[in-house]
Amino acid sequence: MKNILLVDDSALMRRVLCDIINSDERFHVQDRAVNGLEALDLLSRKTYDAVVLDVNMPQMNGLELLKELQKRKISARVLMASTDTREGAKTTLDALELGALDFVHKPNNAMDCRNGEFKERLIKLLAVVADSRVPMASKTFTADGLKSSKKMVELVSKHASSVSGNKIVALASSTGGPKALQAVIPRLPKNLKAPVVVVQHMPAGFTASLAERLDSLSEVKVKEAAEGDVLEPGTVYIAMGGKHLNILTMATKYTIHYTNEPAREGVKPCANYMYESLSDSRYDQIVCVVMTGMGADGTQGIQNLKAKKKTQVIVQEASTCAVYGMPKSVVAAGLADQTVPLEQIAQEIIMNVGVK
């Protein structure tokens, strides 16, 4: 049975969340805290399989707690549960950057938490977070990191400038993805010879903030993909949350097209649709990248794509994944051409598609 720490300043919310968590025989709420200070004291002395953490609390809020855990190098598997997370996309991204593994939007009213949909999502994500790798207090992408990555780009670009062909990079990620993308996208040079299309599993309302944040850190242009966008080299297109992204081939142009089928693999956007939409494209090669995340999204799409097109499949190496689900599924299906640590994914992308 997994031991859980529940952190929330509302007594009613603590009781409701506690009942939901304890209703699943895999979990037991071992301790409760009313704010970040209490939680910090408990986490300094005890180890938990997962922490369910609210954002807005007196004395020390959820983000301040995450910062303090990083500072003191205390590892914890954290699931954010906050009424803030839907409107406060920035707050949510801050939390993911500070080490939270995923988030669940908590209804404003404690009684609404008892509805099936919220209960189901909380339990599903808690199971993933509790089984994930304990995140080490890792640094976010910095100016120094960019400097060393520029040296790396200079080294590989000698080879990369001779790479020929019309190619596209199609990347899929889920749990742990927002932070992992910060180790990949800012390392790509602006003269990358291919467009990059990304399906990161996130609800509607979060992907625009994610794109803005990555854009501010990167040389390449990063944007939330809009209906009808024409794909350009050196630009990263992040699929909008809550819709399925497809790439349409129109003469010599490739454009973004959204569809509204039900969730597939339990997710929307689903990377399988993105990969399958490329099977009729005129690209000489599709470079598929599968990174950290739960489930098996991407595997079926890549399998269908490989049957029709020349593909190169790069997967993130297990020890560098927050959740080794999606990459593991691709490897198990015998579809992976390269398995590399997170820090090396950008250079493999550059080597495969080239620079102008």
Annotated catalytic residue 319: no
Residue 321: C-alpha distances to residues 32, 239, 292 (Å): 29, 21, 5
Annotated catalytic residue 215: no
Among 132, 149, 174, 209, the active-site one is 174
> Cβ neighbours of residue 161 under 8 Å, at least 6 residues apart?
354, 355, 356
Among 94, 105, 157, 201, the active-site one is 201
Annotated catalytic residue 297: yes
Among 54, 229, 297, 329, the active-site one is 297
Q: How far apart are CA 134 and CA 132, in angstroms?
A: 6
- Residues catalogued as catalytic: 174, 201, 297
